[in-house]
Amino acid sequence: MIRLEFIYTLGGLLFSTVAVLEFLDRANPKRFRKTIFWGIYGITFLFGSVLPSFVTGCLVILMVLVTGWKDLGTSKVKTTAEPERRQSALRLRNKLFIPALCIPSVTFLGTLVLPKIIIAGAPLATAKDATLVSLGLSVIVALIVALWLFRQRFVTSLHEGRRLLTAVGTVAVLPQLLAALGALFAAAGVGQVVSEGVTRFIPADATFLVIVAFTVGMALFTIIMGNAFAAFPVMVAGIGLPLIVHKLGGDPAIMGAIGMLSGYCGTLMTPMAANFNIVPAALLELPDKNGVVKVQIPTGLILLAVNTLLMYLLVFRF
């Protein structure tokens, strides 16, 4: 059976390799700090399931201290020249998108198929882990396809991985930390506080206002935490289940689906969603690192209004 820990191990090996490459780069004045940062990050992936929570927490704090409250900067990696890239692009044309398309295709296929493949009485991947396992496998498939398509060696992918990771910088770890923050908020009872605040200012029978509080709250919490999955347990515990479902009789499936879409509207409007908004700016080398967010804000607001209206029209109709 393919366990989720295997995928974490692959990620840990990548981050550890980046740490080694940074250590070997004697021309980089920040090589020791970068080595420690990416090395610790690799350790959390490789041994996170066996390390005590206290040790892992200390390692995360050490990562913060190593950065010195500033980004570690981009590493200079020897890569292909601009003329070579243009020539390759002209040769491959639309085939350039094949490795990228392998990721969603293999992930979708694996999610459907892996739990149904039984070996020695056990599924190849459990249903709850199938999507993430398939995502990890899809990255491996995409890498193999890319190496064959671009006629490159495996070591090239390691250097390019280092270049991209250091270009993104320390915000690469932000989604993981924010997801953990959402779990902490839920465990600390923030949802109950939200529920009490809403019922204090909004009458329970004011259906539309409760819907607005939920959808806008999902967007705002996502803007703050940068992750709709982190905002979801807080808002569902505070407004979704106690007010929309239990008090007003709304459909929980529709509440959850449109609630998540409302959270994604917040994703469009926050730099805290680093993997969506900061990473593209870094990879495309945009002069304004918040340029993606600024362009997406009008779309996010329009979609939030549409989701609020859909929630009001649908959640009590089924």
| One domain for residues 214 and 262 | yes
Task: Dump pLDDT digits (tens) for 241-263.
Answer: 888 998 888 899 999 999 999 99
Task: Dump pLDDT digits (tens) for 68-106.
Answer: 766 676 777 777 667 777 777 788 788 888 988 999 999
CA-nearest of 176, 182, 162, 157 to 275 is 176
Q: Which structural domain range is residue 253 located in?
A: 189-314
| One domain for residues 195 and 303 | yes
Q: How confident is the model at residue 219 (pLDDT cuts 50, 70, 90)?
A: very high
In a domain, 180, yes or no: no
Q: How confident is the model at residue 318 (pLDDT cuts 50, 70, 90)?
A: low
Q: How confident is the model at residue 305 (pLDDT cuts 50, 70, 90)?
A: very high
Contacts of 200 (CB under 8 A, 6+ apart): none
In a domain, 77, yes or no: no
Task: Dump pLDDT digits (tens) for 111-158.
Answer: 988 888 888 778 888 888 888 889 889 999 999 998 888 888 888 888
| One domain for residues 150 and 230 | no
How far is Cα of residue 224 from the mean position of the Cα atoms in its chain? 15
Mean pLDDT rounded to a whole number for the chain: 84
In a domain, 134, yes or no: yes
Contacts of 42 (CB under 8 A, 6+ apart): 12, 13, 14, 15, 16, 17, 18, 19
Instruction: Write down the pLDDT at residue 107.
Output: 92
Question: What is the domain count for the chain?
Answer: 3
d(CA 48, CA 109): 28
Q: How confident is the model at residue 27 (pLDDT cuts 50, 70, 90)?
A: confident
pTM: 0.72
In a domain, 73, yes or no: no
| One domain for residues 144 and 201 | no
